[in-house]
Chains A and B, each alone.
Chain A
Amino acid sequence: MATQLAPESMYRNDEGMGIWEHRGKVAAVGVGHSPTARRWDGKAETSVGAWSILALRRAIEDAGVSPDQVDGLVIVPVTTTGAFWPEDTPVPMDIVNSFNRTGDPLDGIAQLSSEWLLNNMPELTNVNFTMYGAGCMSNALNVASQAIGDGLTHTCLVLKAWHNLEGRYYQSGANAHDAIPGTAALKSLWGAPACYGTALQFAEYCRKYGKTHDMMAPFMTNSRRNGLMFPEGYWAQHRPEELTAEDYEYARWIAKPANLFDNDIPIMMAGAYLFTTAERAQDMKQKPVYILNHASSNAMPRSLTPTLDEVEAETAKTGRKIYEGAGITAADLSFENMYDGFTEFHQFHIEGLGYRGIKFGEALDFYQTDISIEGPNPVSPSGGNIGSGRSRVWLHTDSIQQLQGRAGARQVTGVKPEIAVSGGPMPLGGNYTVWSATPD
């Protein structure tokens, strides 16, 4: 039977659900990353499929388990948001056939399937549970957490990978056609750049609270700084460039008030984790990081672009769900790793959390204080997509590594890493995980 998308029942979308029934009984142990690249160079060994296999094997090795102990696989089958295989470009069959292929030649090239991965990882002999998360690693983590808690799998690999091709992002696939059915045409075909909706919300945010775009600069420089200490990341590996306030403030607008650096750079990469039960985690190689809760937002905007009011209502609701299910308060957070790719909704996320007591309209002032990993209020210690490229994975890897005490140069020192939250992407429509160094 083909792998299915996770059903809605696996997500914790609602308030009032109480403490998560599996709180502290699921743990992340292993982390595995592929290298990164700006774009695919057309070789089999650097394809999104090959790098996915590499990341999965590294997660298994990192956890110190044997492949035959793995019985679950949760992946995101989609590997891009804007680099679709051009319809007029032949699929390179020599590359396709260098793997154990499936019926879809794009598997392993510009998308993934659990079937393709299992075909090409013969060492995974005991996987009897597979499921897809939609869109992001954040989603797949929720699915894996719930699946382990529910007893559907006990040792589960979780994967998110990205390919990137030559050409401009968001210009291919359906966007290259003359027509797109449905309301997508209004945004994707005839609309503004992808960051437009967020820029519009940010413009209203600045008007409402009397803030300016330049006030984002400390967040941007801090994020890039943290990213340059993330050896798995794109900027650290390929272009170890700082981003100064001057660089940020003089960048050209993409959709004013969102500039070039408010948009994350599309890259190729694969990231994987090994999740298991709290009991099994005790015998594995790395320190377990326990899941206290997962929560989701499935809110739909009333129109094409959510208003600031809708954004603030939903992030506040998400914050309440996160804390309720984990049995914690904002004061328990050691740090936050909420999503940032577009940069201008990071403040929406952390205001919704009430991180360090901030309220709506206060995040940009908060950014003017010490938000470094050395200070008492770390903001995005992963550096996020701004710090390491478009993956939506760094925030989770960093949370795990910080709580395991192996974040290297990026390790937070101003706080004791005990409880963290990560997730995204959008303020309306996201998935979140609460991580803890201890099960209770």
Chain B
Amino acid sequence: MILISFDIDGTLEVGDPPGVLTMDMVRMVVGDGFLIGSCSDRPMSAQRAIWEAHDIPYDFVIPKHMLADVKAKFEADRYFHVGDREDLDKKYALEAGFEFLWPDEAAAMPWFATKDSSDA
């Protein structure tokens, strides 16, 4: 089981500024059974609203400094946080025991590789 925590601004396409990770990419990992959610300075109510507006089921929303609570709550083999800030993403991720990925690194992960249509 893999858990991915997404920062929003500068990381997801719906962020301000927009990031490189599209909501379709998120849907892809949700479809593959990953645990996903957001960890952002945006209000938790606003984080929920984003997922619901895009009809993406989510497992958690959390403020940046409370990422460790996610690890405590969810059982997974690997925990990733994707974000664009050294001080607010990488720092909190490593402190919480997550592996950290910059958005472009995350976009290159095999999870997001487009599935060959011949597999269908």
List A residues at the B interface (Cβ < 8 Å).
38, 238-239, 241-244, 246-248, 250-252, 260-261
B43: chain A residues at CB < 8 Å are: 241-244, 247-248, 251, 261
A238 to B44, CA, bound (A): 17
B65 located at the interface, meaning its Cβ lies under 8 Å from any Cβ of chain A in the complex = yes
B49: chain A residues at CB < 8 Å are: 241
Known A-B contacts A252-B63, A252-B64; A247 and B16 likewise in contact (beta carbons under 8 Å): no
Listed by A's residue number, 13 A-B pairs whose Cβ atoms lie within 8 Å are A238-B16, A239-B16, A239-B46, A242-B46, A244-B45, A247-B45, A250-B44, A251-B41, A251-B43, A252-B63, A252-B65, A260-B41, A261-B43
Q: Is the CB of A241 within 8 A of B45?
A: yes
B66 located at the interface, meaning its Cβ lies under 8 Å from any Cβ of chain A in the complex = yes
B44: chain A residues at CB < 8 Å are: 244, 246-247, 250
A268 to B41, CA, bound (A): 20
B42 located at the interface, meaning its Cβ lies under 8 Å from any Cβ of chain A in the complex = yes
Q: Is the CB of A251 within 8 A of B63?
A: yes
Residue of B nearest to A238 (CB): B16
B45: chain A residues at CB < 8 Å are: 241-244, 246-247
A238 to B15, CA, bound (A): 11
Residue of A nearest to B44 (CB): A247
A243 to B41, CA, bound (A): 12
Q: Is the CB of B42 within 8 A of A241?
A: yes
A42 to B114, CA, bound (A): 35
B63: chain A residues at CB < 8 Å are: 250-252
Residue of B nearest to A243 (CB): B43
Cβ of B27 to closest chain A Cβ, rounded Å: 23
A238 to B16, CA, bound (A): 10
Cβ of B14 to closest chain A Cβ, rounded Å: 11
A252: chain B residues at CB < 8 Å are: 41, 63-65
Q: Is the CB of B65 within 8 A of A247?
A: no
A250 to B63, CA, bound (A): 7
B64: chain A residues at CB < 8 Å are: 252
A172 to B46, CA, bound (A): 30
In B28-66, which residues have CB < 8 Å from any A CB? 41-46, 49, 63-66
A250 to B67, CA, bound (A): 12
A265 to B42, CA, bound (A): 12
Cβ of A233 to closest chain B Cβ, rounded Å: 15
Residue of A nearest to B41 (CB): A260
Residue among A244, A248, A252 facing the most chain B CB atoms (10 A cut-off): A252
Residue of B nearest to A38 (CB): B16
A244 to B66, CA, bound (A): 17
Known A-B contacts A244-B43, A260-B41; A250 and B16 likewise in contact (beta carbons under 8 Å): no
Q: Is the CB of A250 within 8 A of B41?
A: no
A242: chain B residues at CB < 8 Å are: 43, 45-46
A294 to B41, CA, bound (A): 38
Residue of A nearest to B66 (CB): A250
Residue of B nearest to A253 (CB): B65
Cβ of B53 to closest chain A Cβ, rounded Å: 11
Cβ of B40 to closest chain A Cβ, rounded Å: 11
B66: chain A residues at CB < 8 Å are: 250
Chain B 71-106 against A: per-residue CB contact (8 Å), 1 yes, 0 no?
000000000000000000000000000000000000
B41: chain A residues at CB < 8 Å are: 251-252, 260
A424 to B44, CA, bound (A): 31
18 new A-B contacts, CB < 8 A, other than A242-B43, A244-B43, A261-B43, are: A238-B16, A241-B42, A241-B45, A241-B46, A241-B49, A242-B45, A242-B46, A243-B45, A244-B44, A246-B44, A247-B44, A247-B45, A250-B44, A250-B63, A251-B63, A252-B41, A252-B64, A252-B65
A260 to B66, CA, bound (A): 14
Cβ of A241 to closest chain B Cβ, rounded Å: 4
B16: chain A residues at CB < 8 Å are: 38, 238-239
A239 to B43, CA, bound (A): 11
Residue among B43, B49, B65, B66 facing the most chain A CB atoms (10 A cut-off): B43
Cβ of A260 to closest chain B Cβ, rounded Å: 6
A38: chain B residues at CB < 8 Å are: 16
A260: chain B residues at CB < 8 Å are: 41
Cβ of B49 to closest chain A Cβ, rounded Å: 7
